[in-house]
Structure 1
Amino acid sequence: MNNQEIVQKLWNLCNVLRDDGITYHQYVTELTYILFLKMLKEKGMEDEAQLPPEYRWDYLVKLQGIELKNHYRKLLVDLGTKGNKLVNQIYANASTNIDEPKNLEKIIRSIDALDWYSAREEGLGNLYEGLLEKNASEKKSGAGQYFTPRPLINVMVRLIDPQPGERCNDPAAGTFGFMIAADRHVRAKTNDYYGLSPEQSRFQIEEAFTGCELVQDTHRLALMNAMLHGLQGEILLGDTLSNLGKKMMNMDVILTNPPFGTKKGGERPTRDDLTFPTTNKQLNFLQHIYRALKPNGKARAAVVMPDNVLFQDGDGRKVRVDLMDKCNLHTILRLPTGIFYAQGVKTNVLFFTRGVEDKGNTKEVWFYDMRTNMPSFGKRNPLTEEHFEGFIKAYTAKDRHQVDDPRWSCYTREEIRAKGDSLDLGLMADESLSAYENLPDPIDSAEEAIGKLERAVSLLNEVVAELKAAEEGKR
């Protein structure tokens, strides 16, 4: 049995909990509590030693009925307050939504019966990531809004190219997908870290990949995901746009997809070091990101941002000017609509490198249009890394000016300044609109329609007059 089949079996167990009124997101959180115990057993005695004997998997699987339910509830409370830091964080404020003991028993028995040998062979981390991806793909779960598609993550990581020894961060970590992909990228360069010295390897595992997540349930998923991938870097629980965010500075690499929208109640961020504090979350995150990069001419970021960041006036323009001064904003990828978030939300990836000085770093910005005249992406036509091939070829070209691709265009800083510092550029003509180019003049069409209606009314009046005359003749 492969991981995909195991994920489907785990997902199908959600049906068991329908009678308890449990949502998909609650189910994934609940599964995390239970899977953590099982996966510690699968990882080995040293890992399972983090838990008291009575809360280990083999003890739990022997219980049943009301005894199991009561023991499980006590386990959640105790593991949230006792034991090591990781266990405490995963079970912090944990509570169960499972009310029926037989449902809890069925889930534990079903998990125990899965093919864990195959899961270990394919990687427990890959299994858990598959579960998170499944949750995001289910529209009913509502999780898709914070789950960045894996192909997009992989392309962003590949082009930013994290190196051994670099400090990588995601200030809106979600389930930690960007950092896990960055870790995988560096492992591929270093023979799974065996090519590094012991101290370098320790740095990669314990310090290289960090993040911050605001929502506690999502924070649990991030911790679990990191643990199963062998990462121990700090994942803060809190708001990057508060003063907590100042802990995440001097980064070499930032990869992120921050939340969009307006802060609740129209409030400004509580953080006191932003130059242009605004109610717009994405503008505040963008400021945090380029300020958090080391000013060494090498530190770099790839960030998902909605279209309004590219054209919003006022604070939006000030932030764009500040970004282009402090960083070399060299590339903007205009993403297809509907690959995540609602169908109407249009997004982009901004690629930039922090300069040594704080002025005049952006000379020209290259745009790649992956949005116009593109197929509609969804379950039937999923987004894949192959869809990015044209962009990758243009991005990595030795001489970008020699790239022959109608989706690839360049604007100098002077041209952007002349457009009011708007970056809402680089989109091609939409072929779907060309069908309307040869339509007749609308005024002529309207006048023609009025003439036809007037003739029809005249004919109807004549018919009515003849009918009236015929009626009077009968009298």
Structure 2
Amino acid sequence: MAAERDDIGARGPEAHWTADGILRRWRRFFEQKPSLRGLTRLEFTEHIAYLLFLRLDHERAQRTGMFASPPIAPADSWPSLVLAGGENLHGALTRLMAELGKVNPQDPRRAVASVLFHDSRPWPADKMADLGRLIVEEFDPYRWSDVPRDELGSAFSLLIADCRDDIRAKRETGQFLTPPHLLTVIAKALALTPRDRVIDAAVGVGTSLIAAHREMAAHGGRVDAAAIAGADIDVQMCRLATMNVLLNTGRQFHGVPPVLRADSLDTKDRLVRRYESDVPATVAICNPPFKSNVEANTERRSDFWAQNATLPANFLQHLAVTLPQGARAAVFVPDGVLFHGGAAATIRRTLLRNCDVHTLLRLPTGMFHDTGSKSNVLFFTKSFRRPNGDPATDELWVYDARDLHHTDTENPLTEEDFAEFLEAYRPGGEGRAGRVESARFRRYSRDDVRDIADSGSASLDLKAHLADAPDDFGDPREIAQSIVDRLGDAQRSFQVVLDSLD
């Protein structure tokens, strides 16, 4: 094992590492080890997260004087992993993961670790040789705490981006990756400051919280630990989001977890009022699962405006119901939420009457092909229901970017693609009062909004002045792969039926 540097001021070559260089190291290891071919990139990335946590925790425990930090993992955990091998390594790591994954109210310093290691398991025992090499060759010789925070955080985020296909395959929870540049634009549109408290009720890998934190930090001053919080029902996403947020924001490993494993739709108080300081949220950014064929169990939600809604519609009403007055929100919704009847229509009508739904951003096509849906972002501010029954929405602006074709692989979004939207959304910093109509940006007046709310459909499938773009169904290769994936799922389902008949 490499000797620890005693002088905290002596910084080694790690101080000059870059995100791209770190990513290349990790990719090279994964791609050049034949025995790892049975593992997914997602499983490999999870283990990078575990090892980073344990190694950084060990390094911080070696510091002296004012820099000293008691370890979160049991003493000598890292040296024991370095010296172990084969079945011994598998057993040692299994026991360590189980211990750190327990929720222990008597030891709040392990709260973050309990989210990261919950239900975690090491690679199969027959792959321990390569895990041992990963520990001894790629982690132990270096002092990772010397790596610039932005570079290490960016490297881990890029490694997660490499897992996009594995994440999209998690159809049971409807996961997919939201383009980081789009979330950066949304954080700027919401005009976040260090005084805000931002939540994401379907946090995924935590990209929204990172974008929010960066925008708040851009104003100068300290962004405290209560500033961002997220929740997700998928334990694997919670692990990745936890490490992603820790590495990109500099939050303490022994502090309050930035992410909870929870079903946000299960209770109205989850996340909206921060659990560690009872501070109400001021902003919500949320891209919920686009699973229109799944109805969430909302029997405990007597506060909901409509029951039996689709998953994305339920997230929309959850945030609109639970956010405090004056809170701002940006919520992704598929096209269907804008025009479907029944529960969706009730939610739209009530949303217009209870909130100031001031902007609808119709996103470029091709961004979320695997969901089978075109996507939008609804921006609204929680308001008061007017005594005369008129909508709380005074005017609704629609910005149409549908003719800009992008995918998450061949032609990814950039922040520059939305420069015109930001200028239109907050012209010259004047706020909405200075908005001007254009081919892409259309104003629907108070009378228009009242007519929409009073209509039977309450449809928000609204257009700008831009000529309708031809339907874009995406890259043919992506369509073909999606068909293959679904045919495979169908074949496996029919095989189960056949086996049961035998």
Q: Common fold, TM-score beyond 0.5?
A: yes
* 1:236 paired residue among 254, 260, 264: 260
SS in 2 for 1:226: helix
Q: Indicate how the Cα distance of structure 1 residues 139 and 247 shifts in structure 2: closer, same or farther if over 3 A, else same.
A: closer
Does the Cα contact within 8 Å between 1:41 and 1:47 map onto a contact in 2?
A: no
Residue matched to 2:397: 366
1:27 match: 44
Aligned counterparts, 1:155-304, within 5 A: 155-191=185-221, 193=222, 204-228=223-247, 229-231=249-251, 232=256, 234-243=258-267, 245-246=269-270, 248-249=272-273, 250-262=280-292, 264=294, 268=298, 270-295=300-325, 298-304=326-332
- The 3 A distance-change label for structure 1 pair 299 and 402 is closer
Q: Which of 322, 339, 351 matches 1:311?
A: 339
Q: Where does 1:284-433 land on structure 2 (aligned, <5 Å)? A: 284-295=314-325, 298-342=326-370, 344-357=372-385, 360-372=391-403, 374-397=404-427, 398=430, 403=436, 405-416=438-449, 417=451, 420-427=457-464, 428-430=466-468, 432=470
Tell me the distance in 2 between the aligned counterparts of 1:341 and 1:426.
21
More helix by share: 1
Q: Secondary structure at the match of 1:236?
A: strand
Q: Which amino acid aligns with 2:117?
A: Y
Separation in structure 1 between the aligned mates of residue 43 and residue 99 of structure 2, nearest angstrom: 20
Q: Aligned pair in 2 of structure 1 residues 279, 324: CA closer, same or farther (>3 Å)?
A: closer
Name the stretch that deviates more: 149-158 or 107-116: 107-116
Post-superposition shift, 1:122? 3.9
**1:17/1:98 contact within 8 Å kept:** no
TM-score (norm 1): 0.79
Is the 1:167–1:252 contact (alpha carbons within 8 Å) kept by the matching residues of 2? yes
Match of 2:184? 154
Check whether the contact 2:268–2:322 (CA below 8 A) recurs between aligned residues. no
Deviation at 1:29, TM superposition (A): 2.0
Query: Residues 66 and 99 from structure 1, CA distance in 2 versus in 1: closer, same or farther, beyond 3 angstroms?
Result: closer
Q: CA 1:266–1:349 in 2, change beyond 3 Å: closer, same or farther?
A: closer
Provide the secondary structure at the position in 2 that maps to 1:337.
Answer: coil
Tell me how large the CA RMSD over aligned residues is: 2.9
Q: Taking structure 1 as reference, are residues 260 and 121 closer, same or farther at Cα in structure 2, changes over 3 Å only?
A: closer
Q: Does 1:76 align with 2:97?
A: yes
Alpha-carbon displacement from aligned partner over 1:290-339 (angstroms, at most 9, x marks no partner) = 122221xx310111111111111121111111111111111000001222
Q: Which runs of 5+ in 1 are unaligned?
A: 194-203, 434-475
| Distance in 2, Cα, partners of 1:364 & 1:307 | 20
Judged with a 3 Å threshold, the aligned counterparts in structure 2 of structure 1 residues 245 and 234 are, in CA distance, closer, same or farther, namely farther
- Letter paired with 1:237: R
Q: Matched residues in 1 for 2:146 and 2:159: separation?
A: 16
Which deviates more from structure 2 when the two are superposed, residues 236-245 or residues 344-353? 236-245
1:94 and 2:94 equivalent? Answer: no
Report what 2:147 is aligned to.
119
TM-score, length basis structure 2: 0.75
CA distance in 1, matches of 2:426, 2:47: 43
Work out the CA distance in 2 between the residues paired with 1:88 and 1:361.
43
Secondary structure (helix, strand or coil) at the match of 1:49 reads coil
SS at match of 2:147: helix
Instruction: Specify the code of the residue in structure 1 equivalent to 2:272.
Output: M
Mapped contact 1:119–1:127 kept (Cα < 8 A): no
| Structure of larger gyration radius | 1
1:2 aligned partner: 18
In structure 2, the residue matched to 1:39 is: 56
Of 46, 51, 61, the residue aligned with 2:73 is 51
| Alpha-carbon distance in 1 for matches of 2:163, 2:434 | 42
Q: What amino acid is the match of 1:94?
A: S
Q: Alpha-carbon deviation of 1:189?
A: 0.8
Kindly state the Cα deviation for residue 391 of structure 1 after the two structures are TM-superposed. 0.9
Distance 2:72 2:425 in 1: 46
* SS of residue in 1 equivalent to 2:442: strand
- Residues 394 and 400 in structure 1, CA contact (< 8 A), matched pair in contact too: no
C-alpha contact (below 8 Å) 1:162/1:186 kept by paired residues: yes
- 1:44: Cα distance to partner? 5.7
**Which residue is 1:452 aligned to?**
none
Cα separation, 2, equivalents of 1:126 and 1:241? 31
Q: Which residue of 2 aligns with 1:453?
A: none
CA shift in 2, pair 1:146/1:270, >3 Å: farther
Distance 2:182 2:196 in 1: 21
Distance in 1 (CA, whole Å) between partners of 2:305 and 2:296 is 18
Where 1:241 maps in the other structure, the secondary structure is helix
**Are the aligned partners of 2:51 and 2:135 in contact in 1 as well (CA < 8 Å)?**
yes
Question: 1:240 deviation in Å?
Answer: 0.8
Helix, strand or coil at the partner of 2:92: helix
Bigger shift: 328-337 or 222-231? 222-231
